[in-house]
Structure 1
């Protein structure tokens, strides 16, 4: 038998208008009252309608094909269930996440996906998570575990394993001076890639001088700037923490009068389709885009449906894709 708003109101001892506000996650309901209505809904077996409700996807990197691909796959997975995604471009750690939430929270928002947004930062402001928890709006992270004390499911590529794959490939090609360019310190995925890189090089007996690391922005320009420092340090191979960075490294190498891969080998990270068509085609560590997106979508559907979903980070293995930007170490 279908449970109606009237039954929930009677069970919780509140008005039907209050129940309607709670069901639609609108403001104007005290926490104690909201909790009472939520308990009544659970006890009576009521499931919220989701048709036409929104899933807000927060990401800073809308120009990066990897992030747009993940967002599109989430949209494809959720659309048959009556949920619509809206992409919210934000600067990680800025006030935009809170502003977006404030703007859309009363428009039928059912859940939020943090796609490498504030969930990647060590010093992220947790206010936006508090707002969502108060309104009983579930959220999920991608490629970045939330700060301690923020319980939510997270789906990430194993960044340490990604670095291991890149270093192992270059080491087997004879490279013994391998540098890395990664994102800014305090960005969790960037920090994990650096740790994975350093661990992988230590296991192979490389000294500090043979494994220089440069921290830069996740851009072509960041990669180009890093190339100058890494080449000066003697690197014959460079591991980049994103494909955009890798393309910048290649530009920087060429502007120093050297060639890829004859003089310097380069490995990227992300593995979007565009890397097949660069000049030369880019060797990269590919993130499992489809599996990440499916994991997020399943978690969103479970959370929106009120079903139990494990919190914590679930790691997915990446894959090395060898193309033409890596080759044997130069003989001299």
Structure 2
């Protein structure tokens, strides 16, 4: 295979995998114009039109569909062999584009990225913070962290950790409004909504027979968890959140768990990346680093359990830390 034909096939395959000339150009570190020229050259070489192009979408012609079905397996093997050869000869290298959930990324990943870059001097990181489920293939990401249910079959997922979903409130809020002892009592409280959790109008509890779905109300909701944690700290309501988001606040007694004897569905935390025969070493290095910094048990669980152990020691010495915290912050 000539170098020209190889580059043309590589561009053709990248456009189909990423869905646009721009995304393919980003992946191959070329300009969109260079991708267009390579596609034009391939069509001229074959004497057929492979793609229907418009300002809105791309689609394969019948000839393009048949041609890609025949050449794609061989091309995938060639690309994978090239990546394996490069990775055997060098350390992880190149630009690594990563999508991180805003709060999780801020709390647990961003503080450690300097260490990751120091370990891997050949990698450049482009980190995007976004709580939406980005289109990894269409937007040219190498890897993402996703919190919650997974549905995209084009992606490979590796579980990093699990986090509990709990209800929390500030001691001063509970002193003012009372402590709920059953889920049904939540209807009498101001509830803070994270809008990217499914089911904003009700919260679902498990562990005592059939799932119990409780309608809740509240006048404050947001699509970013950190401001809702701040609102809970100010005593503005009861928040449904993940333990990773409030571990430090629980450990310090600034927030306390509400209805601890009732459970909500836990949340999986996964690293996801485009499905392919061979995973680049830069992605493998990043996922392994994430597993290391999160640890097992997860770092947020260690924070909470460690604080609980310290409180138990104080209680044995005759000091009720929870009562002191509540008394100090009650209006």
Which has the higher relative contact order, 1 or 2, with Cα contacts under 8 A spaced 6 or more apart? 2
Q: Which has the larger radius of gyration?
A: 2
Asked whether the two chains share a fold, i.e. TM above 0.5, the reply is: no
TM-score (norm 1): 0.44
- Higher percent of residues as helix: 2
**Structure 2-normalised TM-score?**
0.44
